[in-house]
Amino acid sequence: MKSLFDQTQVGLLKLKNRFIRSATYEGMADEKGNINDELFKVYEDLAKGGVGTIITGITAVTDLEEFIPGQMGIYNDSFIDNHKKIIEVTHKYNANIILQLGAAGTQTIRNEEKVILGPSNITDLGYKNTPKEMTLEEIVSIQIDFANAALRAKKAGYDGIQIHAAHGYLLSKFLTPYYNRRTDEYGGNIENRSRMLIETYKKIRDKVGKNYPVLIKINCEDFMDQGMTFEECKYVCKKLEELGVDAVEISGGVYLHAQMRAIQEK
């Protein structure tokens, strides 16, 4: 009988046990995305406590858009050395460390100095931000930013990366019919709405090579009116499997106005 303490493997990534810390947003980095001693200790404690594989909180791949407050960054090469300390401290305890890469889209605090991006010009039901509809050039630019960030993660020494395409962040918004009302090749049916994610994955794979672990986090459903359905999620996952994705983490849901209000009232 298998136990949680058994060694296992995901693709070429060896896991010392079956305990995986799913990405959790810490909000501890500075305003530019640099990691501080307090955040280093979070990861050291996780590794010391016996977690076999740790997935970091969402890390910004671009500085074109506004950051989530306290979000880590890896949007240029200057961050590589900053991230190496997290890798060193987790590897000391024989734990894997995987960097979660994401773009916030509308799910951030509005700052007039930076743009808020989205597939369409539809106001976020939870955050109330109205994005600029992305041009084709901006779509390709963000895809390249993801790929370059993945290469930086590999250079720093991370054991793999995870693409965050869940919970209403930018890549998730492209999958959601309510937010994606484009009439070009990136909107409409699920084949088109998943094009942003599929092309992002392909660009990442081209940068990091076929043997570097690339994972994805995706909603099983958005659990909202006009959201992505379970059948559509299965379609996307099967496409990614065909392309060689190493693992899929299934989550669900997006931030809605009523949910946000309930949280704020607690």
* Catalytic (active-site) positions: 169
Nearest one of 179, 164, 132, 175 to 61, comparing CA atoms: 164
Q: Measured between alpha carbons, how far is 186 from 188 in angstroms, rounded to an integer?
A: 7
157: left (phi over 0), alpha (psi -120 to 50) or beta: left
Residue pair 162/58 in contact (Cβ under 8 Å)? The answer is: no
Residues listed for the chain: 266
62 SS3 class: coil
Residue pair 116/65 in contact (Cβ under 8 Å)? The answer is: yes
81 SS3 class: helix
105: left (phi over 0), alpha (psi -120 to 50) or beta: left
